[in-house]
Structure 1
């Protein structure tokens, strides 16, 4: 029965920025993300810990599906060698619909040419069956990834 409430959603986006630069932006400078796509992400504040460290708590302000939203998350894991980060939601708008929500990304350099592929994974448990799977949120993050890439590669 519970399996209908749990889900996993994955998506890839090809970006021009290097995997290292993309990872560094989310790891050490997430408060700069709003500079890259201010119409989507208004800000990111550090609530506890330090930027770029596991166990730190950050709070995002963003606009998704036309609504201003908040997300408070703890950084569960950072793997600089694999350019991946795992975030667990602890408060905010998503927690009104989900019992648990984990977002992970991994940026991998492309085998040929410049740029990288960013693979996003959501693992979640909905509070009830009437809640939609978070496809629009995945599309949102794929779009934000492209905006960050454009910012990181401008002037190159």
Structure 2
């Protein structure tokens, strides 16, 4: 019997939703240059990042600054003795903070 679950977290960011979305929609290869814990990015399903058959789901709101990032992890456990993957939420939380800090530092270096 497979046990299915879902974990979600929402994190506030100071970066615009547009910049954050663009990173994951078309510049995912840059993630390994922004987050120290990401060593490589690969497409696991589909022909290419921009192909309609690739597995992606995005919901976003565009704005001038500040947004909320929501991460959802869907998982299957092979038995009840296995804990839910809370570590994944901690991991994406750290990556989110790293990305936000990167964009804020980038904006500060460009500001007059």
User: Which category of TM-score, normalised to the shorter sequence, fits these structures?
Assistant: 0.7 to 0.9
| RMSD, aligned CA | 2.3
| Equivalent of residue 44 in structure 1, options 41, 46, 56 | 41
| Equivalent of residue 135 in structure 1, options 61, 86, 97 | 86
TM-score calculated relative to the size of structure 1: 0.58
Greater helix share, structure number: 2
| Residues 92-118 of structure 1, C-alpha deviations (whole Å, 9 max, x = no match) | xxxxxxxxxxxxxxxx468xx831110
Structure 2 residue 8 is matched with structure 1 residue 10: yes
Flag the 1:150–1:54 CA change in 2: closer, same or farther, 3 A.
farther
Structure 1: distance between partners of 2:93 and 2:101:
13
Q: How many residues align?
A: 106
Shift of 1:51: 2.2
Structure 1: distance between partners of 2:52 and 2:85:
25
TM-score calculated relative to the size of structure 2: 0.78
Partner SS for 2:93: helix
Greater strand share, structure number: 1
Of the two, which has the highest radius of gyration? Answer: 2
Shift of 1:7: 1.1
Structure 2, unaligned stretches of length 5 or more?
Answer: 108-112
Shift of 1:46: 4.1
Structure 1, unaligned stretches of length 5 or more?
Answer: 57-74, 84-107
- Does the CA contact (< 8 Å) of 2:5 and 2:76 recur in 1? yes
Query: Comparing both chains, which one has the higher relative contact order based on Cα–Cα distances under 8 Å and sequence gaps of 6 or more?
Result: 2
Shift of 1:144: 0.2
Shift of 1:146: 1.1
